[in-house]
Amino acid sequence: MKIPALAFTVTDWSAVEPTRHDGETGFALWRSFNIGDLRVRQVEYSPGYLADHWCDRGHVLYVLEGVLETELRDGRRFTLTAGMSYQVSDFGDAAHRSSTVDGVTLFIVD
């Protein structure tokens, strides 16, 4: 990941208008900051959320609160709780999708 030219920037995530993205079940609320190909987001998944797709994009994902279930297409599963992160690249075979039982708040850079 290469951060494009950018002046020092402070983001008040509570002031960023969320966009809604429906999952297979539940929904996600994204608060996003985009510059060039870089996307920085605070994401909230509703209780019962299940992604409606397998994601091949690389991310650095950090769980702020709640519990996130991440499933890889090859069948492996990972449970992440507040204070945990995962890192996955754009390359390789780590297609993944997310779900949560009770809801989760994430910080994602991709």
Could you read off the pLDDT of 4-39 as tens digits, one per residue?
A: 888 899 999 999 999 999 999 999 999 999 998 899
Amino acid found at 45: Y
Report the 10 Å Cβ neighbour count for 32: 16
Half-sphere exposure of 12 (CA within 13 A, CB side): 2
Summarize pLDDT for 44-57 with one digit per residue, the tens. 999 999 999 999 98
Number of domains comprising the chain: 1
Looking at residue 107, its pLDDT comes to 98
78 inside domain: no
How would residue 2 be classed by pLDDT, with cut points 50, 70 and 90? confident
pLDDT of res. 1: 67
Does residue 77 sit within a domain?
A: no
Q: How far is it, in rounded angstroms, from Cα 94 to Cα 109?
A: 17
In a domain, 13, yes or no: no
Q: How far apart are CA 54 and CA 52, in angstroms?
A: 7
Residue 68 located in a structural domain: no
Q: How much is the pTM? A: 0.92
Contact assessment for residue 60 and residue 110, using Cβ atoms and an 8 Å cutoff:
yes
Domain with 50 in it:
19-62+86-110
Please give the pLDDT value at position 90: 84
- pLDDT tens-digit map of 75-95: 999 999 999 999 998 887 789
